[in-house]
Structure 1
């Protein structure tokens, strides 16, 4: 479930399935993309309800996939909607971000964590990997060495380590205040700065390869993925 609240120059988007640590189903990914695309506000603040930011893909949905490549593509579209939005998008990470939750945060323009935030890419432990643009964006953000460390080990890092490696830009008690402060800037300038910083060669070919690899691993590790729900 995706919940939106508009408050002047800031749209707050909340991933609102706290009973499932805000894990995302296919329809949730579509709703998230729409909530970002439809934003008129110059700043969007992305939050998770409850004690987690986002656990990534709902594993019940992953186990039941008939077309895992299409599912990877839906996640990629949600992340791309964030990246290509005219709004500046802030990931307000409070609590656990895992897998797709990390990938959505990577697509945001600014990642701000509370001291309670933790980050991990656990997919390799049950035969998958982050296929919502994660293999494209993670090395860009943290460098190739840190990207390999996180993606191959599946280990969890706390907010301080995430700050040191550049995964987050700030550690603060109240991330929403960062979005409010950004919204005090000239709105047209915010959009232009985002466009200039984001300007780079298209990575569609990389994402196609990523989605295809995800589908192959999904087929090979169906039992392991199912066991990971327990």
Structure 2
């Protein structure tokens, strides 16, 4: 389900199960985690093959799970989202087409989300008697705010790229998301990693400030010879 290719400073990770709208089985989730954590480039670009980004969990798999298996499947999805969020590389999600359920949740775990005009987003779980359990109930409110998150999660409604941009679900609407990953990869890899770690830091403010100053000092020491306008 997962295809990878290296293009300069970017590892391109493609969800490649278009006949199932790139829906995830356990094997697909594990393969995605390995692809992201194993990347040796400073930037990872995540996209979907075919007409969709991802439909999320494969419901033909989910409906066969017993209670313990369902818990384990949710925990596996959570671990993949956490691996994306905590990876050394900056992960850029390029959403070109529908993102649903777990597809939205995996995009939420990425550092940058960009969409094409054809992208749409929905947390459709409530219509099926489910909800997104790959970390989405925690990440969505942090990214779009509590009111917008509750609306999306409870209504199951679909939002287009422009509305996603307005609410902060994506940061740009572009024709070619891969260009954003390439743009980011042009920057200093150590600085990219440091910025990601600092932006992801959820310690209290005093600790964050101390860590920020220390990271800045590390970069000055490392790159002093190259600093010039």
Deviation digits for residues 87-137 of structure 1, max 9, x if unmatched? Answer: 000000000000000000000000000000000000001111000000010
Q: Which runs of 5+ in 2 are unaligned?
A: 204-229
Q: What is aligned with 1:60?
A: 60
SS at match of 2:143: helix
Q: What is aligned with 1:149?
A: 151
Q: What is aligned with 2:2?
A: 2
Q: What is aligned with 1:24?
A: 24
Displacement of 1:169 after TM fit? 0.2
* Alignment counterpart, residue 201 of structure 2, candidates 185, 199, 202: 199
In the alignment, the residues of structure 2 paired with residue 171 and residue 192 of structure 1 have an alpha-carbon distance, to the nearest angstrom, of: 26
Displacement of 1:200 after TM fit? 1.0
Displacement of 1:11 after TM fit? 0.2
In the alignment, the residues of structure 2 paired with residue 64 and residue 34 of structure 1 have an alpha-carbon distance, to the nearest angstrom, of: 25
SS at match of 2:44: strand
Instruction: Answer yes or no: is 1:44 the counterpart of 2:52.
Output: no
In the alignment, the residues of structure 2 paired with residue 79 and residue 12 of structure 1 have an alpha-carbon distance, to the nearest angstrom, of: 17
SS at match of 1:112: strand
* Alignment counterpart, residue 186 of structure 2, candidates 181, 184, 187: 184
Moved over 2 A (4+): none
Deviation digits for residues 17-64 of structure 1, max 9, x if unmatched? Answer: 000100000110011001000000000000000010000000001011
In the alignment, the residues of structure 1 paired with residue 16 and residue 186 of structure 2 have an alpha-carbon distance, to the nearest angstrom, of: 27
By relative contact order (CA 8 Å, sep 6+), the higher-ranking structure is: 1
Displacement of 1:10 after TM fit? 0.2
Q: What is aligned with 2:13?
A: 13
Q: What is aligned with 1:214?
A: none
In the alignment, the residues of structure 1 paired with residue 79 and residue 115 of structure 2 have an alpha-carbon distance, to the nearest angstrom, of: 24
Q: What is aligned with 2:218?
A: none
SS at match of 1:52: coil
* Alignment counterpart, residue 131 of structure 2, candidates 120, 123, 129: 129
SS at match of 1:64: coil
Q: What is aligned with 2:104?
A: 102
TM-score (norm: length of structure 1): 0.87
Q: Which has the larger radius of gyration?
A: 2
In the alignment, the residues of structure 1 paired with residue 12 and residue 134 of structure 2 have an alpha-carbon distance, to the nearest angstrom, of: 22
Q: Which runs of 5+ in 1 are unaligned?
A: 202-230
Aligned length: 201
